[in-house]
């Protein structure tokens, strides 16, 4: 790596000041599992690394069933799936955190970092969209909130303006008969980047027979993570059956816009969208009824 | 020129201090400054696990940790796995089960496997394969590595009783 400076911020305000002083020559580092590789390979550039792991607000998380989950942006993945209550309440999030890289990566990498890296194939983002997570962003003008579904703008790009950083993610409280699942298709068993990823969430009615609400989001089949809003809307009022999930998969296929690349041809990805959406919805429904 | 930082850590139970530039990874510091060359550079980008060390109780790719981030941390490397007088059961089983050929992946596997058995003393084969997915081997085809970890788990359980 070229010569670079390092500073650890101890508060969000200090991080904002450090970023303001250096403009686009400063880069935030949480787990470092993306940014260090990119700096070494020249894909991103910085003169100053701003380490945010000493900012308590970004490294803490708290769950209150009445208020939802407040997740610091830099909490490492292993702490998320390692918390039984959070893993049960926000199970697509835990599914994704469990399969980002391997154990060594999960010891350091964070969901906030995965989101800010903004790969269209990111595992956490369909899960975040499915759970209706909101981003809390801090910058020189103060704080603002953005839905995760609106956060990514292009491959590797997002809504963060110069000098801004992602501070935390907020997840709404969980209601009865909700379930969520994130599934990924990769050619090996672990450690691959998604060929297709699907995050699905639904809430069943009080008889657990009909879908009361649903969200589906797709990875790796568009220039950014794709909120399949029309699929979620179509699912409302439908019976929670395999036939419904299969039809939802067909509808998700119509929304996907995959390219052919080294991970697979576009036609194969479209096929996978149908299959994985069906399975993710079935998995979400099973979790919704098992609680 | 960027000034070097002074870092104080505990490595394999001993207090260690070193100087490094911000750009130096923990892997570079371990190997080039501290001459703890057990951790290997296989990929330098977090894919192969040959650089695995335990940092504050969790296995990490030391190529993706900066030396300066190690301030105040507790680190275990492969050099700290054996006791004063004998090999750790993992090391013994790797040898007896022929779980290595060239050996370049072995330090990373043993450190990761130790972290696994510390957390889960009785892992299933699936658990072992899943948790060690961050460690790649070009030589063995993995099967003997998995068996060695299973055998070591059994030895450790037996030692307890």
pLDDT per residue as tens digits for the range A130-171: 999 999 999 999 999 999 999 999 999 999 999 999 999 999
In chain B, residues with a C-beta closer than 8 Å to the C-beta of A80 are: none
CB contact set of B59 (below 8 Å; sequence gap of 6+): A103, A104, A107, B52, B53, B111, B112, B115, B134
In the predicted model, what is the mean pLDDT of residues B45-69? 98
Residues A57, A15: contact at Cβ < 8 Å? no
What percentage of chain A carries pLDDT values higher than 70? 100
Handedness of CA A168, A172, A173, A179 (dihedral sign): negative
- Specify the CATH architecture of the domain B5-79: Roll (3.10)
Domains and CATH numbers, chain A: 5-51 (3.30.43.10), 68-171 (3.30.465.10), 180-290 (3.30.390.50)
Q: In this predicted structure, what is the pLDDT of residue A291?
A: 65
Q: Residue A220 in 3-state DSSP?
A: coil
Whether ipTM exceeds 0.95: yes
**Could you tell me which of B153, B97, B105 has the C-alpha nearest to residue B125?**
B153
Q: Please report the pLDDT score of residue A9 as a whole number.
A: 98
Confidence of residue B161 (pLDDT cuts 50, 70, 90): confident
Q: Is the pLDDT of residue A237 over 80?
A: yes
Where are the alpha helices (H) located in B2-142, listed in sequence order?
Answer: 26-28, 89-96, 106-119, 125-131
Would you state the pLDDT for residue A273?
Answer: 98
CB contact under 8 A, A32 and B21: no
pTM of the predicted model, to two decimals? Answer: 0.97
Same fold, B5-79 and B89-160: no
- Arithmetic mean of pLDDT, B59-86: 98
* Burial tier of A280 (Cβ tally within 10 Å: 0-12, 13-18, 19+): buried
Put simply, whether B150 touches A (Cβ < 8 Å) is no
Confidence of residue A11 (pLDDT cuts 50, 70, 90): very high
Residue A217: pLDDT band with limits 50, 70, 90: very high
Interchain contact B61–A (C-beta under 8 A): yes
- pLDDT score of B82: 98
How far apart are the CA of A80 and the nearest CA of chain B, in angstroms? 14
In A, which residues are within 8 Å of B131 by CB distance? 102-103
Could you state, in order of their start, the residue ranges of all structural domains in chain B? 5-79, 89-160
| Neighbour-count burial for B83-118, b at 16+ CB within 10 Å, e otherwise | eeeeebbbbbbbeebebbeeebbbbbbbbbbbbbbe
Closest residue of chain A to B109, computed from CA coordinates = A104
At the top level of CATH, which class does the domain B89-160 belong to? Answer: mainly alpha
Distance between CA atoms of A33 and B44, rounded to whole angstroms?
11
Task: Answer yes or no: is pLDDT of A21 > 80.
Answer: yes
Contact A168, A71 (CB under 8 A): yes
Q: Residue B160's pLDDT is what?
A: 85
| pLDDT score of A55 more than 90 | yes
Cα A13 to Cα A112: distance, rounded to the nearest angstrom: 18
The average pLDDT across A78-94 equals: 98
B73 interface with A at CB cutoff 8 Å: no
Inter-chain CB proximity A108 and B60 less than 8 Å? yes
Closest CB from A3, A53, A102 relative to B134? A102
Question: Which chain B residues have a beta carbon less than 8 Å from that of A49?
Answer: 22, 66
Average pLDDT of span A8-15:
98
């Amino acid at each position: 790596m070229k010569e670079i400076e390092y500073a650890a911020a101890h508060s969000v305000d200090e991080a904002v000041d450090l970023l303001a002083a250096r403009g686009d020559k400063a880069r935030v580092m949480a787990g470092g599992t993306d940014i260090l590789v990119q700096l070494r390979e020249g894909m991103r550039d910085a003169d100053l690394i701003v380490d945010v792991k000493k900012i308590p607000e970004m490294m803490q998380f708290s769950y209150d069933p009445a208020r939802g989950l407040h997740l610091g942006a830099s909490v490492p993945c292993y702490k998320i799936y390692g918390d039984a209550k959070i893993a049960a309440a926000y199970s697509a999030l835990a599914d994704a955190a469990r399969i980002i890289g391997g154990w060594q990566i999960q010891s350091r990498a964070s969901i906030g970092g995965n989101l800010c890296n903004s790969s269209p194939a990111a595992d956490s983002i369909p899960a975040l969209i499915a759970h209706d997570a909101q981003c809390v962003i801090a910058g020189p003008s103060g704080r603002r909130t953005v839905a995760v579904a609106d956060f990514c703008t292009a491959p590797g790009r997002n809504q963060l303006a110069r000098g801004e950083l992602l501070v935390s993610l907020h997840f709404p409280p969980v209601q009865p008969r909700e379930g969520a699942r994130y599934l990924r298709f990769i050619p090996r068993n672990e450690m691959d980047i998604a060929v297709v990823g699907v995050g699905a969430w639904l809430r069943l009615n009080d008889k657990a027979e009909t879908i009361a609400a649903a969200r589906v989001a797709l990875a790796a089949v568009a220039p950014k993570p794709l909120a399949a809003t029309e699929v979620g809307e179509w699912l409302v009022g439908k019976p929670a059956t395999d036939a419904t999930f299969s039809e939802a998969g067909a509808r998700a296929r119509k929304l996907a816009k995959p390219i052919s690349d080294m991970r697979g041809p576009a036609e194969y990805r479209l096929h996978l969208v149908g299959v994985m959406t069906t399975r993710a919805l079935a998995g979400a429904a099973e979790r919704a009824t098992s609680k | 020129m960027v000034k070097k930082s002074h870092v104080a850590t505990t490595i394999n139970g001993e207090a260690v201090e070193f100087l490094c530039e911000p750009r130096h990874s923990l892997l570079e510091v371990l190997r080039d400054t501290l001459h703890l060359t057990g951790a290997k550079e296989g990929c330098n980008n977090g894919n192969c696990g040959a650089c695995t060390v335990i940092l504050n109780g969790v296995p990490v790719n030391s190529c993706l940790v900066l030396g300066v981030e190690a301030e105040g941390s507790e680190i275990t490397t492969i050099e700290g796995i054996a006791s004063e007088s004998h090999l750790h059961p993992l090391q013994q089983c790797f040898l007896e089960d022929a779980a290595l050929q060239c050996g370049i992946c072995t330090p990373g596997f043993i450190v990761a496997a130790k972290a696994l058995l510390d957390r889960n003393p009785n892992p299933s084969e699936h658990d072992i394969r899943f948790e060690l997915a961050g460690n790649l081997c070009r030589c063995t085809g993995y099967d003997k590595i998995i068996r060695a970890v299973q055998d070591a788990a059994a030895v450790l359980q037996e030692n307890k009783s």
